[in-house]
């Protein structure tokens, strides 16, 4: 089970205005100076991981796809995870707990981050334009006891999110019942296809179904791309 959620922070931007410059008054030297100016900085995005592996941590395909799309969008990414023990360790070949084994969420998440990771306790909202939470059971087990869109529903009353469709449709949407849990928390569930993202403009929350749907990987990758594009648009960068 996995779904993605992103939150965009409202930020103030200073805009430089060029006054008294009609087209005829723009000299070649001035135009050259404008072209030499520094490029507009990209959005600063915090990616919050919850381990490494779908059954006890972050869904790796989702995290990787997010990083690809953020890179393509020119974002500046910083990766975080909590420095706490995992709830438990799952043997991914069997889908069962590994008895007597213990792992740290930050240490495991560092595998995905290629070692470039920071303790979640050090994350400051003032330093980021958005935060993205990939899916995976780790979001429920190691963060706030709920999957990513439900996390939004628990902390933002009336928020709009999607986990895809509300009926299983012959097994295509095996976790469709999650939509009812979202509604029970006072949030609004919006039906979306796997390649789509839903934007709650009021709360600046973006969600996509991802692995809540049983489908080909490229469709999930496309939905994550749609989510990341909406996040970058909302950030204004």
Q: Is 213 a catalytic residue?
A: no
Q: Which of 31, 52, 145, 146 is catalytic?
A: 146
What does the DSSP assignment read for 165-215?
A: -SS-TTTTSTTTTHHHHHHHTT-EE----TT--EEETTTTEEEE-GGGS-S
DSSP string computed for 17-81: ---S--GGG--HHHHHHHHTSPPPPPPEEEEE---SSTTTS--HHHHHHHHHHHHHTT-EEEEEE
Q: Round to whole Å and give the CA distance between 36 and 117.
A: 34
Active site residues: 146
């Amino acid at each position: 089970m996995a779904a993605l959620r992103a939150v965009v922070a409202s930020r103030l931007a200073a805009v430089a205005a060029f006054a008294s410059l009609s087209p005829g008054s723009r000299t070649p030297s001035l135009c050259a100076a404008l072209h030499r100016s520094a490029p507009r900085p990209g959005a600063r995005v915090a990616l919050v991981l919850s381990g490494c592996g779908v059954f006890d941590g972050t869904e790796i395909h989702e995290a990787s796809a997010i990083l690809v799309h953020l890179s393509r969008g020119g974002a500046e990414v910083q990766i975080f995870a909590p420095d706490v023990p995992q709830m438990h360790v799952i043997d991914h070949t069997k889908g069962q707990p590994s008895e007597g084994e213990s792992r740290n969420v930050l240490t495991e998440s560092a595998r995905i981050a290629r070692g470039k990771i920071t303790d979640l306790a050090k994350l400051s909202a003032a330093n980021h334009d958005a935060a993205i939470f990939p899916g995976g059971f780790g979001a429920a087990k190691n963060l706030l006891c709920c999957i990513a869109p439900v996390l939004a529903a628990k902390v933002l009353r009336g928020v709009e999110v999607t986990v895809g469709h509300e009926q299983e449709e012959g097994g295509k949407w095996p976790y469709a019942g999650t939509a009812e849990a979202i509604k029970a928390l006072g949030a609004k569930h919006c039906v979306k296809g796997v390649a789509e993202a839903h934007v709650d403009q009021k709360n600046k929350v973006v969600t996509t179904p991802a692995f809540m749907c049983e489908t080909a990987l490229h469709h999930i990758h496309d939905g994550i791309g749609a989510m990341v594009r909406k996040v970058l648009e909302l950030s204004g960068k």
